[in-house]
A and B are shown apart, each in its own frame.
Chain A
Amino acid sequence: MEPKARKLGILISVAPTHASFHHGLRLAAAALSAKDEVYLYCLDDAVAGVEDERVQTLRGHGLRLFACAYACQRRKIVPGENALYGGLTLLNDVMAATDRFVSFN
């Protein structure tokens, strides 16, 4: 029987041009390569990065992608189908249900 996959939660709140955004994605990529389940929540300025090619590539490799609906609304970003948009309930679930949780702000 295969060991149960570890769950990693990642919060990013900076814009996709910020170095921390890139660091967060690198961590997600490494965890996905290690067969971990990765849950990424984009908050605040990071919601502008949902459609970023790097993010969507990771999504294609199994990344579970969430984004703050409130942050989108404030930035007049129309939610699409490339992420699951929701409130802080989603973030709470990620924080409570993952084995490790790290943030890049």
Chain B
Amino acid sequence: METLSDKLKPHQLEAKPKRKVLIIIDADPRTNPRAAEAVRLAGGVCVWEQVEVSIVLHHAAAHALSEAAADLPEGKIYKQFLPMIREKGGRVYVMPDDQTMEALDTEVILKNHLKEPALAELAAEAAMVIRF
């Protein structure tokens, strides 16, 4: 007979799939501190590894991944938390508009670019979608 101790065995707890959280950021990090707050939220949550966090830097928000990101207001937050999200298995996608595209390194775009159908798929798979 299965005992309570059996039920609480670590392997059974680990088997529970993590809920997917999608954070879509529209705020322009050059002018709006909410972009940094959203990135901080993503990093601060994913570090506990209880949910699976992905973020999408939409349009002007993609400036957070530009070479000049460190010079942005709250630039430290982008430098600290975006790599942390990746280290914890999360994805950081970009969907820059034409103007923002010019500020991004080609490699950043190639590695992280997301198209509309893929965004729709991510949103459909996510248990929670948070938009800033």
The chain A residues found within 8 Å of chain B, CB to CB, are 11, 13, 43-44, 71, 87-89, 91-93, 95-96, 101-103, 105
A105 pairs with B132, CB closer than 8 A:
yes
Contact with A along B43-83 (1 / 0, CB 8 A): 01100101100000000000000000000000000000000
B37 pairs with A11, CB closer than 8 A:
no
A92 pairs with B48, CB closer than 8 A:
yes
Enumerate 10 A-B pairs (CB-CB under 8 Å) in ascending A order.
Answer: A13-B132, A43-B37, A44-B37, A88-B40, A89-B44, A91-B44, A91-B45, A95-B19, A95-B50, A101-B128
- Most chain-B Cβ atoms within 10 A of its Cβ — which of A11, A71, A101, A102? A101
If over half of B's interface residues share one DSSP class (helix, strand or loop), that class is named, otherwise mixed; here it is mixed
- Most chain-A Cβ atoms within 10 A of its Cβ — which of B19, B21, B34, B128? B128
Q: How many A-B residue pairs have CB under 8 A?
A: 45
Residues of A close to B132: CB separation below 8 A: 13, 105
Inter-chain CA distance A103–B41, complex, in Å, is 13
User: What distance in Å separates the Cβ of B25 from its nearest Cβ neighbour in chain A?
Assistant: 10
- B130 interfacial contact with A, CB 8 Å: yes
- B124 interfacial contact with A, CB 8 Å: no
A96 in contact with B130 given A44-B34, A87-B44 (CB within 8 Å): no
Which single member of B21, B34, B37, B131 contacts A95 (CB below 8 Å)?
Answer: B21
